[in-house]
Structure 1
Amino acid sequence: MNVWSEPQSDSRFADVDGLRFHYKRAGHGPTVVLLHGSASSLHHFEEVAALLSASYDVIRPDLPGWGLTESRDDRDYRVPTYAATVARFLDVLGVRSSAVVGNSLGGNIAWNLALDRPERVSGLVIVNATGYPEKAVPAGLRLARNPLLRPLLRRTMPRRAIERNLLAAVGPHSDIVDDAMVERSYQLMSRPGNRSAFVDFVNTDQPDRSAEIPRIAVPTLVLRSASINAQHFAQDIQGAQELVHADGGHLLPEEDPQWVGGAIAKFLDSPADSSQWQQGGRP
C-alpha cells in the first residue's frame, strides 16, 4: 500500500513565505501549472500531468494546508491570498509566466491570479471552477461549518465521511472512487495540520470578486460538467471558450483525464483561435 502521507521519489520542495511547499515537476516546453481543489492534492492531476508532460513543463504544487505542503500559521485561506502565494511559489521556481489550470478551488485561485497578475498568466483553463456566490453548499462543508462539530473535525476525519464526500463529487457513471483513492485522501487529510486547515478554510469568509470576472483579459478555456451549471465564466469572460462534458462530476480531471488533457493541449496550442472549438462539444 502506498504511503501517501510521505514524499515520493519525484517529490520536490521549495520554501515559500515560510512554508515548505511540496510539488512535482516533469516534462519540457512551455510551463503549465496545475492547481487542485479543496481537500485534494497534486495527485488529482496525476494522469493529466502525464499526458501534458510530453510537450510541456508541468508543475503541480500541493496548495497550503493540503497534501504535503504545510498549513499556514496565520490561518489565512482566502482565495486572493492563495493566488499571491502561488505567484511567489512560481517566483521561487523562476517561472515568470505560464499557463495556469485549476479545478474547483484551484480554478478560483487561477482566475484570481489572472485578475491580479495578468502578466504571469499566458493562458487560463478553469475546470468546474468556483467563485460565484454559492447556491448550495456540499454536505461535507456544511458539517465543517457547524460550531459544535468543528473541534471534533480538527481531531479526526472519519474515513467513511471522506468516502461519502468523494462519491458525491463524481458523476453518475464514474467508478474512480475506489479503496486506493479513499485511502489516499484519508492519509493526506490525517497529516498534522491538514484537518485544522480544512476547517479553517471552510469557515473563512471569502471575498466575492465575481463582479470583477469580466475584467479577465487573458485567453481562457472553461471546462465544466453538464451537471454543474451555477457558474457563468464563459459568458462573463470576453472571448472565453467553453467545453461541456456530458457525464462528468466535480472531479473531472480524475474522471476523464484524456478529455481534460486533450482539451488543455489543444487550447494551449492555439488559445486565440476560436474557430477550432465547438460550444458544448468534445475537443
Structure 2
Amino acid sequence: MTRRPDWVHDGRDWPNRIASQFVPAGGIVWHVQVMGEGPAVLLLHGTGAATHSWARLLPLLARSFTVIAPDLPGHGFTESPSEDGFTLPGMAARVAALLDALGHRPGFTVGHSAGAAVLARMALDGLLVPRSIVSLNGALVPIRNGPGDVPWFSGLARFMVTLPVVPWVLSWQAADRATVERLLAGTGSTIPPEQVALYTRLLRKPSHVAAALAMMAAWDLRTLAGDLPRLAVPLILVVGSNDRTVPPGDAERVRALVPAARIVSLPGLGHLAHEERPDLAAALIEEAALAPADR
C-alpha cells in the first residue's frame, strides 16, 4: 500500500480527468479540475472527499459556467500543507492562493459540508466576494453532542494525528469495501457503485485519511459560528432531509445567525445529495447563479 494516491495509477480513470491540472500555489501543488466556459463557479468538497464527489455534477454545470473544482489540501491528489494549512483560516487562505494562480475570481461558489465552511471563512476574511454561497448540507455550526461541540474531540483527533500508525490502520480497514459501504450508508445517501469504488480507493491511502483527521483536529466551528452574523454574502442552505451527518435542523440554527439565509429542502436525500441527484443540485446552483444580484 502506497501512502499517497498516485495520479498515474489511482488517477488512471479519475472522473473528468481531461479537465485535471496540477498547479503550485500556497506552498503546495494542487490537483484542480477546470471545465467549461462562462461565469466562474467554485466547487469545494467536504472532509474525506475529493473532486470525484462532483463527478456527475461538474459536466452539467460546465454547460453554462467555467467550473473550478480542487482537491482540498491533503485530499485526493493535492499535496498536504504545513500544520496551519489544515485550520479553517489556513485552508481558506490557500484556496484563495490557488484562485490567484489560476487567474480566477469566481462570482458564484458551492460548498459541500466542510467546503461550505471554507467558503464562509473566505467571504468573512475578504478573500473572496461571491454573489452567493450555496451550502450543500453545510457544516457551518458545531454539531450538538457531536465532534465540533465536544471539547475533548479536537484533542483526541490531534492525538490521533500524532500517531503515524493511525492513518495506516484506518486505511487498512478501508481495504474491505464493505466497511466503506457501511460508512457511506451512514450518511443517509445511496450513491452509485462507481462512486463507492472511488471513495474506497482514496480511503485506502493513509495520507488522505491523515488529512481528514488533521482537518477535524484543527477546525474551530465555534469561532466561525460567532462570525456568521457578519456574513454579507447571500447564503442558500440546501438541506437533504435524510442527512445523517449534519442534522437537517442545523440549517435553522444557521439562519438564526444569518436571517437572510434561504433554506431549500431536498426530501429523501442524504448528506451526499449532490451525488445522488446531480440534476437537482445543478438546477439549484444555476438558479442561484443566474438570479438577479439584488434578489
Shift of the alpha carbon at 1:62?
Answer: 0.4
Residue 164 (1) aligns with residue 178 (2): no
Q: Structure 1 205/127 Cα, relative in aligned 2: closer, same or farther at 3 Å?
A: closer
Q: Structure 1 187/5 Cα, relative in aligned 2: closer, same or farther at 3 Å?
A: farther
In 1, Cα distance between equivalents of 2:31 and 2:51: 9
What is aligned with 1:234? Answer: 255
What is aligned with 2:150? Answer: none
Match for 1:245 among 245, 250, 266? 266
What is aligned with 2:5? Answer: none
Residue 105 (1) aligns with residue 105 (2): no
What is aligned with 1:212? Answer: 227
Question: What pairs up with 1:15-34 in 2 under 5 angstroms?
Answer: 15-34=24-43
SS in 1 for 2:37: coil
Q: Structure 1 118/194 Cα, relative in aligned 2: closer, same or farther at 3 Å?
A: closer
What is aligned with 1:268? Answer: 289
Shift of the alpha carbon at 1:245?
Answer: 0.7
Write out per-residue CA displacement over residues 58-90 of structure 1, whole angstroms, 9 at most, x where no aligned residue: 111000011110112336311121111111110
SS in 2 for 1:218: coil
Contact 1:153 1:199 in 2 (8 A): no
38-47 or 235-244, larger mean C-alpha shift: 235-244
In 2, Cα distance between equivalents of 1:129 and 1:211: 16
Shift of the alpha carbon at 1:161?
Answer: 3.3
Q: Structure 1 93/22 Cα, relative in aligned 2: closer, same or farther at 3 Å?
A: same
Q: Structure 1 264/22 Cα, relative in aligned 2: closer, same or farther at 3 Å?
A: same
Select the structure that is richer in helix: 2
TM-score (norm 1): 0.84
SS in 1 for 2:83: coil
Contact 2:236 2:261 in 1 (8 A): yes
Specify the code of the residue in structure 2 equivalent to 1:250. H
Write out per-residue CA displacement over residues 169-226 of structure 1, whole angstroms, 9 at most, x where no aligned residue: 134xx3x152x32321122233462222222222225252202112111122211112
What is aligned with 1:277? Answer: none
Q: Structure 1 146/77 Cα, relative in aligned 2: closer, same or farther at 3 Å?
A: closer
What is aligned with 1:51? Answer: 60
What is aligned with 1:280? Answer: none
In 2, Cα distance between equivalents of 1:75 and 1:155: 22
Q: Structure 1 112/123 Cα, relative in aligned 2: closer, same or farther at 3 Å?
A: same
Shift of the alpha carbon at 1:97?
Answer: 4.0
Aligned residues: 266
In 2, Cα distance between equivalents of 1:225 and 1:192: 30
Contact 2:84 2:90 in 1 (8 A): no
Q: Structure 1 145/261 Cα, relative in aligned 2: closer, same or farther at 3 Å?
A: same
What is aligned with 1:200? Answer: 214
What is aligned with 1:185? Answer: 199
Contact 2:85 2:94 in 1 (8 A): no
What is aligned with 2:245? Answer: none
Match for 1:223 among 238, 255, 278? 238
147-156 or 84-93, larger mean C-alpha shift: 147-156
Contact 1:28 1:56 in 2 (8 A): yes
Identity %: 28
Contact 2:192 2:276 in 1 (8 A): no
SS in 2 for 1:203: helix
In 2, Cα distance between equivalents of 1:77 and 1:125: 22
Q: Structure 1 273/225 Cα, relative in aligned 2: closer, same or farther at 3 Å?
A: farther
In 2, Cα distance between equivalents of 1:63 and 1:164: 24
TM-score (norm 2): 0.81
In 1, Cα distance between equivalents of 2:216 and 2:89: 15
Residue 115 (1) aligns with residue 124 (2): yes
In 2, Cα distance between equivalents of 1:67 and 1:136: 29
Contact 1:222 1:240 in 2 (8 A): yes
